[in-house]
Amino acid sequence: MKIAVIGSISAGVSAAQKLSAGRSGVQISVFEKSAFYSCGACGLPYYLTVSMDELQEAVDAKEKQLKEAGIDAHPLSEVTAVNPQAHTITVRDLTSGSVTEHKYDSLVIATGSRTAIPAVPGAGRIGVQAFRGVEDLLFLKEMTRTPYVRDIVVLGSGYETIETAKAFLKMGRNVRVIAQEREILPDYDPEVSAMIRARLAGQGITFSLGQRVTGFDGRSYVEKVRTTSGSYDCDLCVCACGETANTGFLAGSGIKISQCGKIAVDEDMRTGIPDIYAVGDCSSAAGDSFHSCSLHADGLEIARCGMTQTQARKKGISVRTATASSCDRPGICPHPNEVTLKLVYEASGRRVLGAQGWGAKNVVSRINAIAVAAAAGMTVEQLAGVELVFSSQCYSVWDPIQVVCSAAK
Contact partners, residue 150, CB within 8 Å, separation at least 6: 173, 174, 235
d(CA 51, CA 196): 29
Domain 2-114+244-286 falls in which CATH fold? FAD/NAD(P)-binding domain (3.50.50)
Question: What integer pLDDT is reported at residue 334 of this predicted model?
Answer: 67
**285-288 LR contacts (CB < 8 Å, sep 24+):** none
Contact partners, residue 64, CB within 8 Å, separation at least 6: none
Q: Of 240, 51, 278, which Cα lies nearest the Cα of 133? A: 240
Question: What integer pLDDT is reported at residue 259 of this predicted model?
Answer: 81
Question: What integer pLDDT is reported at residue 24 of this predicted model?
Answer: 83
Please state, in angstroms and as integers, the Cα–Cα distance from residue 132 to each residue in 31, 43, 230, following that order.
Answer: 17, 10, 27
**CATH 3.40.50.150: does it fit domain 290-406?**
no
176: how many CB neighbours lie within 10 A of its CB? 21
Residue range(s) in the chain whose domain bears CATH number 3.50.50.60: 2-114+244-286, 117-241, 290-406
Find out whether 129 and 237 touch, Cβ atoms under 8 Å: yes
Length of the chain: 409
DSSP string, 198-246: HHHHHHT-EEEES--EEEEEESSBEEEEEESS-EEE-SEEEE---EEES
Find out whether 232 and 225 touch, Cβ atoms under 8 Å: yes
**CATH 3.50.50.60: does it fit domain 117-241?**
yes
Question: What integer pLDDT is reported at residue 210 of this predicted model?
Answer: 97
Question: What integer pLDDT is reported at residue 369 of this predicted model?
Answer: 95
- Exposure string (b/e) for 24-41, b if CB count within 10 Å is 16 or more? eebebbbbbbbebbbbbb
Find out whether 325 and 338 touch, Cβ atoms under 8 Å: yes
pLDDT by residue for the chain (409 residues), tens digit each?
999 999 987 778 888 888 888 788 889 999 999 888 775 556 788 889 988 898 888 888 878 877 887 889 899 999 999 999 999 999 999 999 999 999 999 999 999 888 889 999 999 999 999 998 888 999 999 999 988 999 999 999 998 899 999 999 999 999 999 999 999 999 899 999 999 999 999 999 999 999 999 999 999 999 999 999 999 999 999 998 767 889 999 999 999 998 888 999 988 889 999 999 999 889 887 555 456 788 887 678 999 999 999 999 999 999 999 999 988 776 666 677 889 999 999 999 999 999 999 998 889 999 999 999 999 999 999 999 998 887 666 566 688 999 999 999 8
Q: In what order do the strands lie in the sheet with 276-278?
A: 72-74, 27-31, 2-6, 106-109, 276-278
Three-class SS of residue 335?
Answer: coil
d(CA 369, CA 305): 10
Please state, in angstroms and as integers, the Cα–Cα distance from residue 299 to each residue in 136, 168, 305, 358, following that order.
Answer: 24, 14, 21, 11
Question: What integer pLDDT is reported at residue 286 of this predicted model?
Answer: 58
Question: What integer pLDDT is reported at residue 41 of this predicted model?
Answer: 58
DSSP string, 139-158: HHHHHTTSTT--EEEEE-SS
Calculate the CA dihedral of residues 391, 394, 398, 400 and round it to 10 degrees: -160
Question: What integer pLDDT is reported at residue 281 of this predicted model?
Answer: 85
Q: Of 259, 264, 266, which Cα lies nearest the Cα of 282? A: 264
Q: How far apart are the first and last CA of the chain?
A: 56
Q: Of 275, 312, 280, 310, which Cα lies nearest the Cα of 293? A: 280
